[in-house]
Amino acid sequence: MSVLPVYIYDDPVLRKKAKAIRGADENITTLARDMFETMHKAGGVGLAANQVGSLHRIIVVDISVMEETKEVAPIALLNPEVVQEDGLWLIEEGCLSIPGIREEVERAEKIRVRYRDLEFKDQLLEADGLMARVILHEIDHLNGVLFIDHIGAVRRKLFRGRLNKLRRGEVEVDYPIVSNGVPLKREMSEKV
């Protein structure tokens, strides 16, 4: 497995819509494994393929790092599609592609999502709470939508300075990143 660089705001790949996967193969399985490795090393709970520069419709989620959800198994979802949403839940979100910025975002509290697993078998998942939120956040990425797009214009203006720094690649993170196609860190320090 490899740790892939995470593309950060405002790299164009983050605004592109990912393409449907037509079948699972070793390349897709390797991408999923590398995405899990990248997400874990970066301290995230979800990751979409375009965050690592790929336009395949795949997300990985692992919320087992949280004490209250430690029993939830990690999952890779190919071609995820939300088929039902219920309730609303306002909670703070962050993103590996927009490090250092967190803001409250309203999303559905419960969802049903249709997807293909790594064997390309049809699956249906019912998720609520944190799992639903992470899946919705990552599906947004596959559609070229960032969590800050859900924030009102007035609140977004408060982040303008920090977003401009990210746009210029002025960021301190513990994982390799790419800004506007340029790798900014090649080595990852070990987390203590």
Which are the catalytic amino acids?
Answer: 138
Which DSSP string do the residues of 38-101 spell out, in sequence order? Answer: HHHHHT-SEEEGGGGT--BSEEEE--TTSGGGTTSPPEEEEEEEEEEEE--EEEEE--TTSTT-
Q: Look at residues 74, 86, 87 and name the one whose alpha carbon lies nearest to residue 39.
A: 74
Q: Closest Cα partner for 29 from 115, 156, 120?
A: 120
Distance of CA 33 to the CA centre of its chain: 14
CA dist 55 → 161, 165, 179 (Å):
29, 25, 17
Query: How far apart are the C-alpha atoms of 110 and 181, rounded to whole Å?
Result: 36
CB-count burial class (<10 Å; 0-12, 13-18, 19+) for 22: exposed
Residue 115 and residue 81: Cα distance in Å, rounded?
6
How many CB atoms are closer than 10 A to CB 142?
25
